[in-house]
Amino acid sequence: RHFRHGGLRISSGIHEMATTVLPRQAWRLYPTSSPAVFFIEPKVKLQQLFGPQELPQTFALRKMEARYMRPKDFNYQLPDDQVPEAAFFGRSNVGKSSLINAVVGSDLMVTSQTPGRTRTLNFAQLTAQGGKQTGSRSWRLVDLPGYGYARVARKESARWQEVTRQYFRDRSGQGLTRAFFLLDVRRPLDESDARQLRMLDKLHIQYQIVLTKWDKMSAHQDSQLLRQLGVLLGTKRSNMHHPAVVATSSTTGFGLEELRMFISAALTDPLGQGLGSDFS
């Protein structure tokens, strides 16, 4: 299935899944012309979500040169080079490394069999070689430590959580354009997820929900998570969340092109000017 937006062709393989799974419930999540994107608010149009038309078009994440960087490459400091960042975080094992790899189209991040590998910040530096006049431009995807490890001492996991909190605190309003909060579609929200959402609100971080492992979701299956999100985000007073939720699968590629568009839009339109008043 294809549709066009701003000259960009978006394609998705598994069309039936989203449409059969979604409308049965009054979830306050509204399907869109893309099966991988749902809205929390009904009045938002897909066009409102993207910045100046030409930007997503010219921003081909997959074609960029991507380089993996560790904190030591930045002398253990957050870089202050004004490079726009998009952050990715979620529970351990949510599929974060797989998703970042799938989005940039290379095995940049080591996916883990053992939870707890990502204990610190890791960066994927993306560079696009421009023309003679524009020169090259850079963006960064930031890989934050996971939370909720079952087999890790409380003290240790509190320390990782502090790394995340500190990152958001330092980058709030400067450098960070959007946080992508990953949730495994099969897993209902619990208190530790809710705590992360409260942290984002409190630190004024604009965030967008990304569902992972969508291939594990069979048609007609009820999703407690989707219902929870519909209620939580649909009724919450905060407007730090992006109105669109993206369903993805690193395994099948479902929703990746849509996610790339949202990442591109965030990175190239840091002030969210392309968004309607619903995301201010």
Q: Which residues bind ligand GDP (CB under 6 A)?
A: 92-98, 111-112, 115, 146, 212-213, 215-216, 249-251
**Which amino acid type is present at position 20?**
T
Q: Closest distance between ligand GDP and the C-beta of residue 146, in Å?
A: 5
Q: Which lies closer to ligand GDP via its Cβ, residue 112 or residue 172?
A: 112
Q: In this structure, what token pair is assigned to residue 5?
A: 């937006």
**Is the four-CA dihedral 92, 112, 207, 72 of positive or negative sign?**
positive
Q: Closest distance between ligand GDP and the C-beta of residue 246, in Å?
A: 13
Q: Closest distance between ligand GDP and the C-beta of residue 59, in Å?
A: 23
Q: Are strands 2-5 and 37-39 parallel, antiparallel or unpaired?
A: unpaired
Q: E strands, the chain, where?
A: 2-5, 8-11, 30-31, 37-39, 65-69, 85-90, 122-129, 136-143, 176-184, 207-212, 244-247
Q: Closest distance between ligand GDP and the C-beta of residue 117, in Å?
A: 7
Q: Which lies closer to ligand GDP via its Cβ, residue 8 or residue 185?
A: 185
Q: Which lies closer to ligand GDP via its Cβ, residue 96 or residue 140?
A: 96
Q: Closest distance between ligand GDP and the C-beta of residue 134, in Å?
A: 34
Q: Which lies closer to ligand GDP via its Cβ, residue 136 or residue 192?
A: 192
Q: Which lies closer to ligand GDP via its Cβ, residue 214 or residue 279?
A: 214
Give the DSSP per-residue string, 229-267: HHHHHHH-S---B-SEEEE--TTT-TTHHHHHHHHHHHH
Candidates 270, 262, 250, 244; CA nearest to 103 is: 250
User: Number of C-alpha atoms within 13 angstroms, CB side, residue 84?
Assistant: 16
Q: Which lies closer to ligand GDP via its Cβ, residue 30 or residue 147?
A: 147
Q: Closest distance between ligand GDP and the C-beta of residue 114, in Å?
A: 9
Give strand pairing partners of 129. 136
